[in-house]
Amino acid sequence: MITLTSDFGSPYPAAMKGVIRRHTDAELIDVAHDLPRGDPRAAAFWLRFVLPEFPPAVHCAVIDPGVGTDRDALVVRAGAHVIVAPDNGLAMPPARALAGDESDVEAWTVAVEDPASKTFHGRDVFAPTAARVRTALDDATGESGADSLDADLVAETLAGMDDLTPASDPVDVRFPEPTVERAEESEEGGDAEDGEVLAVDGEVLAIDRFGNVITNVPGELVRGRDWVRVNGDLTPVAETFGAVDPGERLVTVGSHGYAECDVNDGRGDGAFDLRPGDSVRFVPDSVSL
């Protein structure tokens, strides 16, 4: 199996599939081709969410604002999974999620011949590399498209590929952890109980195609509350969009486990005026300002 991810729209990914079909019959599964354009950070977020659902596979992910520059092409092993991607950080967060343990992630740079195109390395570099890796793994397991891979076999196979060189320092994307402010014993005069959350300073990780604002604030910090202040504005917390009227704002916990700023039947990014990377402060309704 080879999964494919890009910001290419259509019909460019089909060219990648054609190239792969010249090398291998491995099954092709599209993850997405409409990810935010030229945004490796958003791609890292979404791939970290989706790829761990798959059994071991080769994942080819091309969100590549640096195409045409001298950025490297990477092959990253994460447990028994392999990610083929430009060296711009997008591969590392999903690799850590796939491996579970950071020590089970290793990266190689790909020796790239001068490609046919300066602007379509998806077709000319990444698709052929994914196909070569897939073929090497199939040869190693003796099965075509076999996904019964283990990490040791994958590591050994990649180490044996002539065009791969261990990568010394691949670009990485780190998603920030939110800062959680809690009531302390020593605090005087406050109404809050010890350990109670007073505020969470987080950040917007991504906006999905519906305009839902995905933050890095863990869902458990808002779940079960009725109201929360989002950057000062009191907002209802609900499990489903239908809990508020169409056009009204709410905070939910998305399927990725993070708090989201949403609008029922509308766009949260506009209503909350939030963009990826923006700061977002959650203050429980129960905390006196």
Which residues of the shown chain bind a second copy in the complex (CB under 8 A)?
Answer: 1, 3, 5, 9-12, 14-19, 21-22, 28-35, 37-38, 46, 49-55, 57, 65-69, 117-120, 123, 147, 208-210, 239-242, 252-255, 257
Shortest CB 34 distance to a second copy, Å: 6
Burial class (CB in 10 A: 0-12, 13-18, 19+), 273: exposed
Please say which residue, 183 or 238, places its beta carbon nearer to a second copy: 238
Please say which residue, 171 or 283, places its beta carbon nearer to a second copy: 171
Please say which residue, 34 or 102, places its beta carbon nearer to a second copy: 34
Shortest CB 51 distance to a second copy, Å: 7
Shortest CB 39 distance to a second copy, Å: 11
- Determine how β-strand 197-207 pairs with β-strand 179-182: antiparallel
Report the alpha-carbon distance of residue 251 to residue 239 in Å, rounded: 8
Shortest CB 80 distance to a second copy, Å: 13
Q: In what order do the strands lie in the sheet with 58-62?
A: 28-32, 2-6, 58-62, 81-86, 73-78, 105-110, 164-166
Shortest CB 121 distance to a second copy, Å: 9
Burial class (CB in 10 A: 0-12, 13-18, 19+), 70: exposed
Nearest to 7 by CA among 38, 41, 46: 38
Please say which residue, 131 or 136, places its beta carbon nearer to a second copy: 131
Report the alpha-carbon distance of residue 193 to residue 187 in Å, rounded: 10
Locate tokens 């077709």: which residue?
123
Shortest CB 194 distance to a second copy, Å: 29
Please say which residue, 37 or 174, places its beta carbon nearer to a second copy: 37
Report the alpha-carbon distance of residue 261 to residue 279 in Å, rounded: 13
Please say which residue, 50 or 183, places its beta carbon nearer to a second copy: 50
**In Å, how far are 37, 38, 131 from 30, measured between CA atoms?**
17, 18, 15
